[in-house]
Structure 1
C-alpha cells in the first residue's frame, strides 16, 4: 500500500487546505496520456474536492489521496515524498518501499 513521508503529508495537507474548503478534498494522482521516458506511467496531481467514481481513496494520517486505476497500480508498493524548493515550487518523488 502507498505510504507517505512526513514531508509529503504536510505538503499535501497544505496544498489541499490552500486550494479548497471542501471537507473531503484531497490530492488526485492520475495517469496522463503520454508515457514516461522509460515507458512507465506518467502521473500528474491536482487538488480536487471529491474523488472520481473509479478512484481508489487512500487516507494516511488524515491526508486524502485519490488514485486512478493506473496510479493505484503504479504506486501500490511505493513511498510518496515531497519537497518545496527556494521558489516555493512543490515536487514529488516516488520511492521504493524497503522490505
Structure 2
C-alpha cells in the first residue's frame, strides 16, 4: 500500500485544513482513462465508493483502483519551492 512521508502528510493536512469538511477531506489520486500511464492528483471532500484509503498522521489519500495498484509499493513525498508552492513526488518505498 502507498505510504506517506511526514512531509507529504503535513502538506496534505495544510491543503485540506480549510476544506468545508476537513475531517473527511484529503487528496485523490486517480487514473486518466483506461491506462495507468497518467495519474492526476486533486483535492477531495470524500472518497469515491471504490477508492482505497490511505491515512497517516491525520492526512488522507484516496486512490482509485488503478492508482492503488500502480502505487502499491510507492511512497508519496512533498516539498515546497521558494514561493511556497507544494509539489508531490512518488518514490520507491525504502525498507
TM-score (norm 1): 0.84
RMSD of aligned C-alpha atoms?
1.7
Q: Counterpart of 1:71? A: 67
Partner SS for 1:71: helix
TM-score (norm 2): 0.87
Unaligned 5+ segments in structure 1 are none
Aligned residue pairs, count: 94
Unaligned 5+ segments in structure 2 are none
Kindly report structure 1 stretches of 4+ aligned residues shifted beyond 6 Å.
none
Q: Distance in 2 between matches of 1:13 and 1:75?
A: 20
Q: What does 1:2-81 correspond to in 2, within 5 Å?
A: 2-18=2-18, 20-22=19-21, 23-33=23-33, 41-81=37-77
Q: Counterpart of 2:79? A: 83
Verify the 8 A CA contact 2:29 2:64 in the aligned structure 1.
Answer: yes
